[in-house]
Amino acid sequence: MEKEPQLYDEWGPEDVVQVSRPEINLVGFLVIDNMALGPGKGGIRMTPNVTEEEVRRLARAMTWKNALAGIPFGGAKAGIRFTGTSVEEKKRAIQEFARAIKIFTPGKYIAGPDVNTGEQEMQWFVEATGNWRSATGKPAKLCMLVFGKGGTKQQCGIPHEFGSTGFGVAHATKVAAELLKLDMKGARVSIHGFGNVGTFTAQHLYNMGAKIVAVADKDGAVYAKDGLDLKKLLKLSSARKPVTEYGKGSVIRPEDFWGVPVDILIPASVTDVINEKNKDHIKTKLIVEGANIPMREEVERELWEKGICIIPDFVANAGGVISSYAEYRGYNPKKMFDTVQKKIIASTTRVMGESLKRGIYPRQVALDIAQRIIKEKKR
- The dihedral sign for the CA sequence 17, 267, 49, 125: positive
Q: How far apart are CA 109 and CA 78, in angstroms?
A: 10
Select which of 3, 41, 65, 77 is catalytic: 77
Write the single-letter amino acid at 98. Answer: A
| Nearest CA among 121, 31, 133, 27 for reference residue 83 | 27
| Nearest CA among 174, 254, 161 for reference residue 215 | 254
Annotated catalytic residue 77? yes
Residues 6+ apart with CB under 8 A from 367: 64
Work out whether strand 74-81 and strand 40-41 pair parallel, antiparallel, or are unpaired: parallel
Q: How far apart are CA 42 and CA 63, in angstroms?
A: 9
Q: How far apart are CA 369 and CA 211, in angstroms?
A: 33
- By the 8 A CB rule, do 257 and 214 touch? yes
Q: How far apart are CA 346 and CA 339, in angstroms?
A: 11
| Nearest CA among 350, 341, 351, 294 for reference residue 164 | 341
The backbone region for 16, taken as left when phi is positive above 0, alpha when psi lies in -120 to 50, beta otherwise, is beta
Catalytic residues: 77
